Amino acid sequence: MGGRVTLQDVASRAGVSIKTVSNVVNDFDRVAPGTRLRVQAVIDELGYQPNLSARQLRAGRTGVIALAVPDLAARYFAELATAVIAQARRHGMTVLIELTNGERSAELAMARGLGSTLLDGVILSPLALSQADLSGKPGRVPVVLLGERDYAHTFDHVLIDNVAAAREATGHLLATGRKRVAAIGAQQGPASATAHLRLRGYREAVQAAGTPELVAPAAQFSPQEGADAMRRLLALPEPPDAVFCFSDMLALGALRAAHEVGVRVPQDLAVVGFDDTEEGRYGVPSLTSVSPDKPEVARQAVGLLADRIETDGPVRKPVRTEVGYELVVRESSAPARTAKGTL
């Protein structure tokens, strides 16, 4: 086939519409698996390459989106950013990283698409925004939300079921034979939606098991806060024999505090974290953790944003997409009797 291969060429060869080919190229979900395979085979056969620059020029777009997160030092957000950048490249887009520090004014500016005329869209992980902040007229550019707070379908929203994940993590500790399972990471205030949901899941599990609640607050999800909370728990007359930490960073601090006073993990204390970060995977002992499907979070968020950009505005109703997770069991939560060598 002479000249540049076009969408029409692929559509004609595959026997589908141009829109179907576009959906496959953009990795949208609205294509039947068999059709997707057939179209992709023709794309590979003909060597079709999207003319991204021409597409953006015709549409008056820059091909630039923003990922706005509260904390770049947190490993979870660093890993998420890597996944978002990889997905954006598949759509021919460049990602700018914006640090909000969880501040309402910065998050509100990103939600309204303010601060830059370069952006085609924004993926925002808010901490401080309320439902009222996100009500009213849509902003200058499309926005996809990440995170746990329920914004009543105001924007496209990608999240995991934090309550179920926390309940499963706590249930795992109880199933290993532990009787006093603590939680580290409770928070108060408008920026604590994640902590509230994980605390709820923890409470549901211990209440169902009839075991006591032992909850230690943490102002931030940091190793220092985790260590301080663990020291308070270990100083109790009846300290816990397991702890569910609301992040891996809290769990790493808890592990350090336990080591400092000679409490063995997992023999004396089982520990579970949340986020499945690289530090936890390579710790000693390796950390059991809830692993959100970060690549899928990125794929869904970028795909929803690209769809909004392609359709030039709020044509469809906002979509709430729940992404899966997995509890990855490692050395830090071996069963109580096995860990103590009494089997």
Q: Which CATH class is domain 7-50?
A: mainly alpha
Architecture of domain 62-159+293-312: 3-Layer(aba) Sandwich (3.40)
Contact 223, 251 (CB under 8 A): no
Distance CA 183, CA 272 (A): 10
Domain with CATH 3.40.50.2300 in the chain: 62-159+293-312, 162-292+328-339
Distance CA 281, CA 293 (A): 15
Each residue's pLDDT tens digit, 256-286: 999 999 999 999 999 999 999 999 999 889 9
Distance CA 272, CA 72 (A): 23
Each residue's pLDDT tens digit, 74-121: 888 999 999 999 999 988 899 999 999 888 889 888 888 765 567 889
pLDDT for position 57: 46
Count of Cβ atoms closer than 10 Å to residue 175 Cβ: 11
Rg (CA), the chain: 23
pLDDT for position 341: 44
- CATH of 162-292+328-339 among 3.40.190.150, 3.40.50.2300, 3.40.50.300, 3.40.630.30: 3.40.50.2300
Mean pLDDT along residues 211-233: 96
Spell out where the chain has E strands. Answer: 64-69, 94-99, 119-124, 143-146, 156-159, 181-186, 214-217, 242-245, 270-274, 288-292, 320-322, 325-328
- The verdict on pTM exceeding 0.85 is no
Mean pLDDT along residues 126-145: 79
Beta bridge partners of 214: 182
Each residue's pLDDT tens digit, 174-211: 999 999 999 999 998 766 888 999 999 999 999 999 99
For the chain, percent of residues with pLDDT exceeding 70:
87
Domain with CATH 1.10.260.40 in the chain: 7-50
Of 44-58, 285-299, 314-328, the least confident: 44-58
Contacts of 210 (CB under 8 A, 6+ apart): none
